[in-house]
């Protein structure tokens, strides 16, 4: 309980990183999964 804010911060961080990658036309490293 109490760590939901951390999950929200991580999700927002991932979205911001993805947006930056899209702006620079860098493909997402989906193969690393």
Query: In this predicted model, what pLDDT tens digit does every residue of 6-27 receive, in sequence order?
Result: 999 999 998 888 888 776 665 6
Identify the pLDDT of residue 15: 86
Identify the pLDDT of residue 18: 82
Identify the pLDDT of residue 31: 60
CB 24 within 8 A of CB 16: no
Cα 9 → chain centroid: 10
The answer to whether the pTM exceeds 0.75 is no
Identify the pLDDT of residue 30: 62
* DSSP annotation of 1: -
């Amino acid at each position: 309980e109490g760590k939901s804010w951390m999950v929200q911060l991580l999700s927002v961080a991932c979205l911001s990183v993805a947006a930056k990658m899209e702006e620079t036309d860098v493909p997402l490293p989906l193969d690393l999964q």
